[in-house]
Structure 1
Amino acid sequence: MTRRKLPLGIQSFAKIRSDDYYYVDKTALAVKLIESSSHYFLSRPRRFGKSLFLDTLKELFEGNEPLFQGLAVHDQWDWSVKYPVLRFSFGGGDYAQPEQAERVLFEQLDVFETAYEVPTIYDTASGRLKALIIQAQKKTGQPVVVLIDEYDKPILDALQDKALSRINRDFLRGFYSTIKDSDAHLKFTFLTGVSKFSQVSLFSGLNNLFDITLDPDYSSLCGYTDHDIDEVFEPELEGLDREKIKEWYNGYNWLGQHVYNPYDVLNLFKKRIFKNYWFETGTPTFLVDHLAKNHFFSPDLAALQSDAALLSAFDIDHISNEALLFQTGYLTIHDVQEPMFGHWVYTLGYPNLEVKSSLNISLLSAYGCDDSKVLKNRLGLLKILQSNNLDELELLFHAFFASIPNQWYTKNTIAHYEGYYASVFYSYFAALGLDVTVEDSTNHGRLDMTLKFNDQVYLFEFKVVELVPDGKALQQIKDKQYADKYRGLNQPVYMIGVEFSKESRNIVGFEVEQA
């Protein structure tokens, strides 16, 4: 390959180990979008290539033909027509500070007004944008393309300060509404962001957007498919475990093809080491705090059910756990069912091992576990499982809860709900990326948690003694005959009853029997 500058929306990547680029061609999807409709919205997690795809659209509409030689779009596009493109981005700036949204937007409007010779005679962003759109069409003779990247970042950055977040939302609402009012002058509109705020809160004046977030035809618009990995990046696979790449970085699903996180894959190919590249670029502090504050039961992360309304229930004053986890990329769609006609149910779960491990590590901190001891405890847990010394497992988990400072409990109500203790217990296992099944269904009922590790099977049942008598956890495993499901594996099966006390804030019962 020869080195050439390419719009990165085609998802090229330079200097993995040389000056060559790898081209993942998304231009066929771009053409399909443009031919199908005019105004689009796409929600995807951070670092999935949304900004890069907008770069592709920009170069395409501006008629930059040399950049598209050899790509799918080249013979399908009229290169003689060049459209004016207004590309706005809220990617830069710290919007937790007052007036930053206006400053960032006005700076971009200044540049466009200079380019299209528009006098700044309006004080509002909406007035300036409308004048700019009209003048751009008049000057070029072509309708205008408007591309807006990270449309929601000024709101998300300020979520900890709801008053400021509302100010930013209302400011943006007026700006975005101008797009609807200028429809007669527009050729194409595309907005991207992480979250999908409700039509009422932000898009009340922009109800003509076609949301392709869960459109199977465009599920692979951002991200790499298995085909991309095996064909485009084939030279980079040597020396790497192909199945591990899939386990660690694949699994994101928006009702179509599963895709890989591009940021993870490109860093893996460059550094040749499996790490939590995507997760480390932005610790989800707000997400973790929100889950802990709302007493989220962490075992639900493995299989959380939702409907379409909950998946998009994202607003300043109401953020559902399902919407927050799904839209930020920490959970993805595993299954879709229609139990009643027209009513769809989505089962969400971790996309891959990177997210499963990293998210649960962060949750342990939110649940009061000492950061300095979490790593030591995880390593201790792994060592115990490898040696199958279950007596030490009880001691280790007793130490987990004993290490949580008393003052943490005085500042939090989370320890008063039944699921807290099981959440801490589960998250330690999930943080290791182990093969854990929660709410494990059998023909006799549902077991709280099953672990398969090192050719052994561990069946866990959790109880809080203030709610049920002592000794009921193990007895329930036996009474319900949960072990029967795993006898055919011809592996040792251990039944473990774990009982917690809200009063002592620790394990008060730990019984083990081999089935």
Structure 2
Amino acid sequence: MDIRYIKAKELSARWGVTPRRINQLCTEGKLPGAYKEGKFWMIPDDVDRPDCLRENRNLYVREDSAVYNRKRPCPVGITSYKEVSNECYYVDKTLLIRDIIDNHSKVYLFTRPRRFGKTLTMDMVRTFFEKTDTDTSVYFKNKKIWREGALYKEKQGQYPVIFLTFKDAHQSTWQDMYASLCFTLRNEFLRHIELTTSARLSDYDKKYLKSILDDEATIIDYQFALGKLSAMLSKHYGRNVIVIIDEYDTPIQQGHIFGYYDEVIGFMRNLLSAVLKDNPSLELGILTGILRIAKESLFSGLNNLVVNTILDDEYSQYFGFTEEEVSAMAQYYGVSDRLGEIKEWYDGYMFGRTGIYNPWSVINYFNNKCVPKAFWSRTSGNEIIGELFNSADTTFADNLLRLLQGSTVQAIVDTDIIYPEINGDIDTIYSFLLVAGYLRVSEHIGSLYDNPICALSIPNYEIKSVFQKEIIDRYNGIFTGALLRNFAESIRTGNAHLLTETLQQYLLQSASVFDTAHEDFYHGVVFGMLAVLSDNYYISSNRESGEGRFDIELQPKSRGGHGYIIEFKACKEAELEKMAGSAVRQIQQKSYTANLEKHGVSGIGMFGVAFSGKKVSVAYEEHDVKKRKSRE
């Protein structure tokens, strides 16, 4: 086989070192096969990077050689593999290609949370396999896949590829979504414009092509577009086709949120079946998404479908960043001392048995001069979470506060969920929160009907802030920062007057009518506000203590901290002050403080809160633990 030779300048741009350094390596004999032709070194195009350059792989040089040893920027929001791998800091995930080739399956579905690198990784797979007019091997010769040997190199750049991503399909009506889907499909046809002049295609094929490109095709034509396109590409190139569909379930999620679920399911079922089911032109199919929507027969008949979820070990390291990768990134940017902070904010996910960091947030953290923020929650995609919270019952709300305080919840995990069921039973809700990236598996407890029973917890501080925000937003957006600060201050200081004013402000500003509201409603309002105190207190609701069940208990997390009991009463407006005092006496008489005393809490405040419609009165007293014990 003929060997292609390149000059030092081309190799220096690829490896991110100076041309002078490349020439020096040639002189030292560290680049096998290099020879000098006149004043230029000629170097084999497939030469391996020597070990002495391993530590410098993340440095780069501009084409004009004006800037050396400058740190590569973080690829915030960039999903082009060519751009990221050539110009930015790139965490090498190319061994996914090796594992896919070795597995030799026909169709893969990778389900991972949003913003965990799916689109960039799929573009990397596309760039590797796709046959183009330019040599794309240059984007892989300094990557891990190129060191795996000839079996993988010979597949590089050899296949026609269909590549679609639906990550931006967020339309609110079926009419607009259908137009968006057609636009995406039409653009992929345009990317293969060479088919319009292909001598291997029939007149019928070209007529079909023209109808798509001119936007004159029917809905049936579009539903079968990918199957037709794969057949035409296979005819033209004489090779089977690789099909990559990224974020396939984003249109389906939007259909659920905005009420056109049946329409989008029908369209996507036909679109995917036409290209993935019994397609003789298919070499390999890869899909990514958040959910595996199998119950809607979306993948019916696909006996060759390999589904890989966050519960599986295989491929677990290829989506998101591993501990080793984050450590290397921190070392590269000179902030290894911040690893503890990065771990607290963005670590905690478990894909199979592999610990994973949120890649979107880690990248944004470095790009933000290492100032931590809840970057992931600022992106789109929380609509479903809002729906879950808005339909939650008091048990679910209670469990959310337990999660915020570091506890776990148990659930039978089913990753085969469809969107209309996500706010069904409690196990389905927790399963969705897990696969969507809001919870993590802390422990495998057992199994039931092939579904694992798991202890689930909040993975990190970033997701904790998402839960806090969603709990607060559940109450009509009236929980302002000032109101919550006053609420927290009134609880911590036992200030009955401030708590009365704070609750009164909320009730008066709310658009709802509370004249017929029951005690449970007011309980829920205060319970939602308490999310702001979850860092400092273990918050319990409706638990047995003493001779009855308290409404709310705040147990301090720190030794020597003050604890609180809150009791609610709904009454007539004329009885507000009386009933607030009665609530405090009930705490004393029924010994609701017993649980706090058992845990060594000596300072206990008792709040009695009485409501009548939009009116409120609060009474507060300190509980004297020593005095009660002396009476006993």
Instruction: Give the TM-score, by structure 1 length.
Output: 0.81
Partner of 1:268: 365
Instruction: Name the CA shift for 1:401/1:384 in 2 (closer, same or farther; >3 Å).
Output: closer
Deviation, structure 1 residue 39? 1.6
Task: Give the 5 Å matches for 1:75-86.
Answer: 75-76=147-148, 77-81=151-155, 82-86=158-162
Q: What letter corresponds to residue 114 of structure 1 in structure 2?
A: I
In structure 2, distance between residues paired with 1:26 and 1:314: 30
Contact 2:312 2:351 in 1 (8 A): yes
Aligned structure 1 segments of 4 or more residues deviating by more than 6 angstroms:
4-7, 9-12, 442-448, 474-477
Task: Give the 5 Å matches for 1:86-165.
Answer: 86-97=162-173, 98=175, 99-112=178-191, 114-117=193-196, 118-121=205-208, 123=218, 124-162=221-259, 164-165=260-261
In structure 2, distance between residues paired with 1:242 and 1:412: 53
Q: Secondary structure at the match of 2:256?
A: coil
Deviation, structure 1 residue 192? 1.2
Partner of 1:35: 102
Partner of 2:60: 2
In structure 1, distance between residues paired with 2:183 and 2:487: 48
Structure 1 residue aligned with 2:287, among 168, 185, 191?
Answer: 191
Contact 1:333 1:348 in 2 (8 A): yes
* Alignment partner of 1:335 is 2:432: no
Deviation, structure 1 residue 398? 6.3
In structure 1, distance between residues paired with 2:90 and 2:383: 34
Contact 1:364 1:424 in 2 (8 A): no
* Alignment partner of 1:350 is 2:458: yes
Instruction: Name the CA shift for 1:403/1:129 in 2 (closer, same or farther; >3 Å).
Output: same
Q: What letter corresponds to residue 396 of structure 1 in structure 2?
A: L
Q: Secondary structure at the match of 1:157?
A: helix
Partner of 1:21: 88
In structure 1, distance between residues paired with 2:241 and 2:345: 41
Instruction: Name the CA shift for 1:114/1:192 in 2 (closer, same or farther; >3 Å).
Output: same
Deviates more, 1:119-128 or 1:350-359: 119-128
Partner of 2:417: 313
In structure 2, distance between residues paired with 1:351 and 1:339: 22
Deviation, structure 1 residue 215? 0.9
Deviation, structure 1 residue 458? 5.0
Instruction: Name the CA shift for 1:295/1:61 in 2 (closer, same or farther; >3 Å).
Output: same
Contact 1:497 1:511 in 2 (8 A): yes
In structure 2, distance between residues paired with 1:479 and 1:211: 51
Structure 2 residue aligned with 1:322, among 430, 437, 457?
Answer: 430
Instruction: Name the CA shift for 1:190/1:512 in 2 (closer, same or farther; >3 Å).
Output: farther
Instruction: Name the CA shift for 1:184/1:368 in 2 (closer, same or farther; >3 Å).
Output: same
Deviation, structure 1 residue 424? 4.3
Deviation, structure 1 residue 177? 1.2
Contact 2:163 2:188 in 1 (8 A): no
Q: What letter corresponds to residue 113 of structure 2 in structure 1?
A: P
How large is the RMSD of aligned CA atoms in angstroms?
4.1
Contact 2:330 2:336 in 1 (8 A): no
Instruction: Name the CA shift for 1:456/1:108 in 2 (closer, same or farther; >3 Å).
Output: farther
Q: Secondary structure at the match of 1:258?
A: strand
Deviation, structure 1 residue 474? 6.4
Partner of 2:342: 245
Contact 2:276 2:285 in 1 (8 A): no
Q: Secondary structure at the match of 2:60?
A: coil
In structure 2, distance between residues paired with 1:399 and 1:293: 26
Name structure 1 gaps, 5 residues minimum.
none
Contact 2:444 2:454 in 1 (8 A): yes
Instruction: Name the CA shift for 1:230/1:83 in 2 (closer, same or farther; >3 Å).
Output: same
Partner of 2:276: 180
* Alignment partner of 1:56 is 2:96: no
Instruction: Name the CA shift for 1:204/1:484 in 2 (closer, same or farther; >3 Å).
Output: same
Q: Secondary structure at the match of 2:512?
A: helix
Deviation, structure 1 residue 32? 1.7
Contact 2:471 2:531 in 1 (8 A): no
Deviation, structure 1 residue 51? 0.3
Contact 1:356 1:433 in 2 (8 A): no
Contact 1:422 1:462 in 2 (8 A): no
Instruction: Give the TM-score, by structure 2 length.
Output: 0.67
Deviates more, 1:451-460 or 1:57-66: 451-460
Instruction: Name the CA shift for 1:514/1:284 in 2 (closer, same or farther; >3 Å).
Output: farther
Q: Secondary structure at the match of 1:336?
A: strand
Q: Deviations over 1:184-215 (max 9, x none)?
A: 33222111123332432533354642221121
In structure 2, distance between residues paired with 1:271 and 1:341: 46
Q: Deviations over 1:96-139 (max 9, x none)?
A: 13123442343234325524445252742243222221222233
Deviates more, 1:145-154 or 1:96-105: 96-105
Deviates more, 1:431-440 or 1:63-72: 431-440
Instruction: Name the CA shift for 1:253/1:430 in 2 (closer, same or farther; >3 Å).
Output: farther
In structure 2, distance between residues paired with 1:259 and 1:398: 45
Q: What letter corresponds to residue 135 of structure 1 in structure 2?
A: M
Percentage of identical aligned residues: 22
Q: Secondary structure at the match of 1:130?
A: helix
Task: Give the 5 Å matches for 1:201-240.
Answer: 202-206=298-302, 208-213=304-309, 214-238=311-335
- Size of the aligned set, in residue pairs, is 497
Deviation, structure 1 residue 271? 1.8
In structure 1, distance between residues paired with 2:519 and 2:275: 47
Task: Give the 5 Å matches for 1:490-501.
Answer: 493-495=602-604
* Alignment partner of 1:408 is 2:511: yes
In structure 2, distance between residues paired with 1:154 and 1:101: 10
Contact 1:249 1:354 in 2 (8 A): yes
Deviation, structure 1 residue 257? 2.3
Deviates more, 1:356-365 or 1:394-403: 394-403
Instruction: Name the CA shift for 1:295/1:502 in 2 (closer, same or farther; >3 Å).
Output: farther
Q: What letter corresponds to residue 258 of structure 1 in structure 2?
A: G
Q: What letter corresponds to residue 378 of structure 2 in structure 1?
A: E
Partner of 2:623: 513
In structure 2, distance between residues paired with 1:451 and 1:305: 23
In structure 2, distance between residues paired with 1:291 and 1:427: 11
Which has the larger Rg?
2
Partner of 1:399: 502
The higher relative CO (CA closer than 8 Å, separation ≥ 6) is in 1
Q: Secondary structure at the match of 2:481?
A: helix
Instruction: Name the CA shift for 1:454/1:57 in 2 (closer, same or farther; >3 Å).
Output: same
Instruction: Name the CA shift for 1:274/1:254 in 2 (closer, same or farther; >3 Å).
Output: same
Q: Secondary structure at the match of 1:337?
A: strand
Structure 1 residue aligned with 2:376, among 274, 278, 283?
Answer: 278
In structure 1, distance between residues paired with 2:365 and 2:279: 44
Deviation, structure 1 residue 11? 11
Q: Deviations over 1:313-333 (max 9, x none)?
A: 333365443244334322332
Q: What letter corresponds to residue 409 of structure 1 in structure 2?
A: S
Q: Deviations over 1:358-398 (max 9, x none)?
A: 33223313213515xx211343456568xx52x12784376
Contact 1:253 1:333 in 2 (8 A): yes
Contact 1:220 1:256 in 2 (8 A): no
Deviates more, 1:400-409 or 1:178-187: 400-409
Deviation, structure 1 residue 456? 4.2
Contact 1:253 1:259 in 2 (8 A): yes
Contact 2:223 2:267 in 1 (8 A): no
Contact 2:164 2:185 in 1 (8 A): no
In structure 2, distance between residues paired with 1:412 and 1:143: 69
Q: What letter corresponds to residue 108 of structure 2 in structure 1?
A: Y
Partner of 1:298: 397
In structure 1, distance between residues paired with 2:432 and 2:323: 27
Q: What letter corresponds to residue 101 of structure 2 in structure 1?
A: I
Name structure 2 gaps, 5 residues minimum.
1-58, 63-71, 197-204, 209-216, 572-581, 626-632
Contact 2:514 2:613 in 1 (8 A): no
Contact 1:394 1:510 in 2 (8 A): no
In structure 2, distance between residues paired with 1:71 and 1:32: 15
Contact 2:111 2:288 in 1 (8 A): yes
Structure 2 residue aligned with 1:168, among 248, 264, 273?
Answer: 264
In structure 2, distance between residues paired with 1:283 and 1:235: 31
Instruction: Name the CA shift for 1:87/1:232 in 2 (closer, same or farther; >3 Å).
Output: same
Deviates more, 1:167-176 or 1:395-404: 395-404
Task: Give the 5 Å matches for 1:458-497.
Answer: 458-459=562-563, 465=569, 470=583, 481-485=595-599, 487=600, 493-495=602-604
